[in-house]
Amino acid sequence: MDELLDVAVIGAGMAGIIAARDLSAKGHKVALLEARDRLGGRTYMDSACGDVLELGGAFVHWTQPHIWNELRRHGILVNPPIEVCRHYWLADGVVHSGSAEDFFGIVSPLFERMFADSRARFPMPFDHTAIDNADIEKETIEDRINSLNLSSYERAVLEGALSGVVHSYKDHGIAQLLQSAATYFGNFGAFFETAGSWSIQGGTKGLIDSILADTTAKICLSTPVTSIIDEGSQVTISTRDGQTIRARSTIVALPLNTIGDVRISPSLPPVARSMIEKKNPTMAGKIWIRIRGEIEPFSITAPAGKSPLNALRTERYVNGDTLVFCMCCDDAAIRAKDSQGVQDVLRMFIPGIEVVDIAYHSWATDEFAKGGWMMNRPGFFTTGAVDLRKPHGNIQFAGGDISDSEPGSIEGAMSSGAQAASNVSFRLAKVQL
C-alpha cells in the first residue's frame, strides 16, 4: 500500500469498526486491517444446530448508550429473553431446583453483600482512578467471597450465579466486577441483565454490515499485522504477507492476548507491558445445545470447577426443538465433550433430556483471540488498562478489553473505539494546524 494514510485501524472487531467508521466520516483516509477472513472479531455468527447462531459476543441493552445509539441509527430492534420457568443450581454436590422467586431469593442477598461497596469504590464508574483503589486492586474474586463468611451452600450458589461471567475466582480481580455493579447504581443483578439477556434482531453481523455501509475506509481482510513502528512523523506497519503500510496514526484494536504477537516500537510503559504479558486469564467458552422437543424454559448454574457446563438458559425454539446457550468456565472441558457428554451432564439436572446437536467456537484456541471476554487480573484494572488507553506517540489502543466503560462487552468495545477515534482525529487536526 503505497499511499500515506491518515489512520490505520488494526483489528475489525466492534471497536475497530466503530473507529474506522467515525474517522472516515470526518474525512480521514482510513484503512481497516483484519487478520481474519471476516469482520466482527469476537462476535461471530454461523449456521449450526439448524439455525444461525451467535458463537461469540451477542448481548446488548438499552441502558448502554453506544450500542443503543447504533441500533436506533440503523433501525435494529432487540429480542427479549424467554421467561425462565424453572431454575436448577448445583450446590454441595446436590442439584436443587425451584422457581425464579426461590432462586433469586437466595442469590440477590448474596450479590448485595458481595457488591455492597461498589459505589463507594467507583463513585464515578467512568473514571477508574477517581479514588485510590490500590488495596482493592490486590483482591481476587475468591478473596472477596472468602471475606463474606458464607456457608458452603451459600458459597456454591453465589459462585454458580457468577459463573456466567467468571472463569476462575482466583485469577480474576474483584475491581472490574465492582465497577460493573457501580455502573448500574450498585445493583449487580441489573448489570447481569445487560450482560446476558437481550440479543440483536438479525444478529451482530447485520449490525456490522449496517455500520460499515457508512464508511469509506479501505477494508483489508486476511491481513495479520506483525510489527508497528512509530517513527515520529508516521507509523510503519508490517504484515505477515510482506506488505508495508504507512499512516500518520494508528489505532490498535486487538484482543489483549494477541497484542504480544505484534512487535511495537517504541516500547510501551512497564505496567502496560506487564498487563499484555500476563494476559486476560479468561479461557471460557460459549456452547449452543439443541434439545429434542419444546421443553419448559429453564436455567442451570454450577460453580466453576464443579461442572463442565456452568451457566445455561433456554434461548428460543426452532422447528419443534429447544435451543439453549451455555457459558462454560473451562474451554478445554467443552472441547473434550461431544453431544453425548453434554447430554450426560445435562441429565444430572434434568433427567431424560435429549441432546440433538451442539455447536461452539473455541475462542481460547483461536489464533486471533486467544481467550474469551475480558476479566482483569488483580492489579491491572485501574493501572495497566488506564495506561493502555493513553496515546503512545502516534499509537492509540482501543477495544473491549481495555475500555473504561463496561469492559468485556460489545458496549465497551464500541465506547473504546469511539473514544480512540475522537482522540486520533483531534491529534491529527492539531498536527495539521
Annotated binding site for FAD: 34-35, 225
Contact present, 91 and 153 (Cβ < 8 Å): yes
- Alpha-carbon torsion, ordered 89, 94, 98, 101, to 10 deg: -60
Distance from C-alpha of 319 to C-alpha of 315, rounded to nearest angstrom: 14
Q: How many CA atoms lie within 13 A of 82 on its CB side?
A: 19
C-alpha cell at 131: 479514588
28 SS3 class: coil
**Which residue stretches of 312-409 are H helix?**
331-335, 339-349, 384-389
Residues 6+ apart with CB under 8 A from 351: none
Query: If phi over 0 gives left and psi between -120 and 50 gives alpha, with beta otherwise, what is residue 222?
Result: left
Contact present, 308 and 337 (Cβ < 8 Å): yes
Residue (of 366, 380, 404) closest to 40 by Cα position: 366
Distance from C-alpha of 89 to C-alpha of 103, rounded to nearest angstrom: 8
Across 151-162, b (16+ Cβ under 10 Å) vs e yields eeebbbbbbbbb
Distance from C-alpha of 193 to C-alpha of 204, rounded to nearest angstrom: 18
338 SS3 class: coil
Distance from C-alpha of 275 to C-alpha of 281, rounded to nearest angstrom: 11
Detail the residues annotated as belonging to a binding site.
34-35, 225
Burial of residue 83 (number of CB atoms within 10 Å: 0-12, 13-18, 19+): exposed
Contact present, 96 and 105 (Cβ < 8 Å): no
User: Which H or E element spans position 10?
Assistant: strand 4-10
